[in-house]
């Protein structure tokens, strides 16, 4: 299982750069979207965040951490979609769109927190968004590169070169790497489920004071 991971990390550098830049573009775009919100949307967002932080600070019903399988299921669904798009070949643009959207989601989330609470919002983002995503994002990007590489390999051999070679070995390598990333995501989901909410509870009192 480690062999395909080493092979991907070593031989797919241009794809990693391309996918990484695409993800970063999504982050920047998501952050800029915050400034495009209307005044009414900003007020609604401010009320929602204020109620959320008060609820976390007071231990209210509005703050209900997700269960392990909810967290893991979300990550695995995202990973599974990337895997399926890689198999379909025609889903190649969809893989790139998913990476961009992942960046947009993170950029928008952090942008909202910083826009509403400045350095306190950044601190909250560092404990609630950053820790698990330091593992989740690389795992998804590795899977995306593997999916793009698999699709390009099929296109090159079947469409451009008109070869009918055996694809079982590339498929097993691709699937093995995806399963390895699934194991990584399941492991980090435990951190996101049980550690992240505690870290959030440590930081929210200083934010909640400004929302009362």
**pLDDT digits (tens), the chain, 212 positions:** 455 556 556 678 889 999 999 999 999 999 999 988 888 888 888 888 888 887 777 654 445 668 899 999 999 999 999 999 999 888 899 999 999 999 999 999 999 999 888 888 899 999 999 999 999 999 999 999 999 999 988 888 766 555 665 678 889 989 999 999 999 999 999 999 999 888 888 888 877 555 54
User: Nearest 5°: phi and psi at 166?
Assistant: -75, 125
Largest Cα separation within the chain, whole Å, is 67
pLDDT of residue 46: 86
Closest CA to 63 of 203, 191, 186: 203
pLDDT of residue 205: 81
pLDDT of residue 61: 47
pLDDT of residue 107: 96
User: Nearest 5°: phi and psi at 165?
Assistant: -70, 170
> Contact, 143 vs 83, CB < 8 A?
yes
CB-side neighbour CA atoms (13 Å) of 54: 9
Closest CA to 137 of 188, 66, 86, 199: 188
CB-side neighbour CA atoms (13 Å) of 162: 0
pLDDT of residue 170: 85
Query: How far apart, in whole angstroms, are the C-alpha atoms of residue 73 and residue 87?
Result: 21
pLDDT of residue 13: 86
pLDDT of residue 62: 47
- Burial level of 81, CB count in 10 A (0-12/13-18/19+)? middle
């Amino acid at each position: 299982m480690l062999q395909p991971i080493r092979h991907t990390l070593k031989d797919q550098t241009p794809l990693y750069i391309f996918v990484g830049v695409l993800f970063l573009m999504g982050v920047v775009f998501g952050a800029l979207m915050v400034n495009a919100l209307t005044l009414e949307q900003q007020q609604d967002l401010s009320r929602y965040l204020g109620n959320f932080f008060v609820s976390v600070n007071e231990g209210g019903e509005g703050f209900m951490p997700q269960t392990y399988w909810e967290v893991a299921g979300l990550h695995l669904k995202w990973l599974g979609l990337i895997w399926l798009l890689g198999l379909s070949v025609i889903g190649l643009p969809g893989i790139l769109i998913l990476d961009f959207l992942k960046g947009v989601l993170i950029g928008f989330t952090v942008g909202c927190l910083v826009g509403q609470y400045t350095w306190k919002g950044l601190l909250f983002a560092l404990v609630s968004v950053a820790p698990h995503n330091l593992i989740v994002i690389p795992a998804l990007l590795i899977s995306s590169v593997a999916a793009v590489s698999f699709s390009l390999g099929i296109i090159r051999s079947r469409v451009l070169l008109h070869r009918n070679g055996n694809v079982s070995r590339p498929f097993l390598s691709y699937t093995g790497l995806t399963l390895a990333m699934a194991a990584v995501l399941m492991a980090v989901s435990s951190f996101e489920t049980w550690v992240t909410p505690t870290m959030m509870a440590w930081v929210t009192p200083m934010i909640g004071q400004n929302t009362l």
